[in-house]
Amino acid sequence: MTEQPGAGDRGQSIWTRPERAARGPSPEHSRAKIASAGITLADASGLGAVTMRSVAAAIGTAPASLYRYVATRDELVELMADQVYGEFGHDEPGSGQPVADLLRLAHQGRALYHRHPWLLDVRAAGNLPGPNALAFMEQVLAALAGTGLTGPARLETVGLFSGAVRLFAQTEIEQQRAGRDTAQWQGSLAGYLLPIAAAGQHPHLAAALADQPAPDDPGQQLPLFDRAMTRILTGLLPPGRPPPASR
């Protein structure tokens, strides 16, 4: 049996194979077009709606023809996820303030998950990053360039930062699906915990609930996402280095 054009070695990552085979007819469809069709289906009906058959129908080809471009459904989902990563903005210059620059990226990532909640169902373990994921990684590393972190620590911070944004967005989306927002959930949680704390068996919980910040505390004026991410980012970064002594 001859190899399907464009499918390449199925043990290879799609990112290490050229989009167009060196020989054979010119492809009728591009990876971007295929990914866009999958994204449209997933945005409307979830990741489960994305199959080789449904995407092939969306671009007007036979399912067997789709294997000329992607070897498996997993590769198709990789294309989709990376295309979504292309929605991160790259035009705004860095401020030189790592926390502020990373918080800006965090807001973009949070919005991205809300636009494409199926992205939470994509398993990235074992996959190589595509070009847009690498561009995002480069932005995070640029924000960390002046922090004094070692190279390995900067790369670890990319993963920790991305995981924190993903977890926060996942919690918000799950609450929305349950028909409540974050403030409602916090109110429900407080209503549940207060009588438990008052019973006296959880003194540390009672102390934490009683220790409320002052209403005019400037930190409390920020939205929860900003407060939480600022604390996380501040904890991930080393303390600011003092300016060099003047001669």
Question: Rounded to an integer, what distance in angstroms lies between the CA atom of residue 16 and that of residue 4?
Answer: 17
CB contact set of 102 (below 8 Å; sequence gap of 6+): 140, 143, 144, 161, 229, 233
What are the tens digits of pLDDT across the range 82-113? 999 999 987 777 788 999 999 999 999 999 99
Q: With 90 as the cut, is the pLDDT of residue 116 above it?
A: yes
Q: What angle do CA 76, 77, 81 make, to 5 degrees?
A: 125
Question: Rounded to an integer, what distance in angstroms lies between the CA atom of residue 38 and that of residue 54?
Answer: 8
Helix (H, G, I), strand (E, B), or coil: what is residue 35? Answer: helix
Q: With 90 as the cut, is the pLDDT of residue 58 above it?
A: yes
Q: Which of 12-26, 182-196, 230-244 is least confident?
A: 12-26
DSSP annotation of 125 reads T
All domains in the chain, ordered by first residue = 14-81 (1.10.10.60), 98-189+219-236 (no CATH)
Q: How remote is the C-alpha of 60 from its chain's centroid?
A: 30
Predicted confidence at residue 168, as pLDDT, reads 94
Task: Give the DSSP H or E segment for 230.
Answer: helix 224-236
What are the tens digits of pLDDT across the range 152-168? 999 999 999 999 999 99
Q: Could you tell me which residue, 242 or 161, shows the higher pLDDT? A: 161
Q: With 50 as the cut, is the pLDDT of residue 2 above it?
A: no
What are the tens digits of pLDDT across the range 199-236? 988 989 889 888 877 766 666 667 889 999 999 999 99
Confidence of residue 25 (pLDDT cuts 50, 70, 90): low
Confidence of residue 4 (pLDDT cuts 50, 70, 90): very low
- Closest by CA position to 81, among listed 140, 8, 130, 41: 130
Predicted confidence at residue 243, as pLDDT, reads 41
Q: With 90 as the cut, is the pLDDT of residue 135 above it?
A: yes
Question: Rounded to an integer, what distance in angstroms lies between the CA atom of residue 166 and that of residue 138?
Answer: 18
Token pair for 181: 């927002």
Question: Rounded to an integer, what distance in angstroms lies between the CA atom of residue 242 and that of residue 204?
Answer: 37
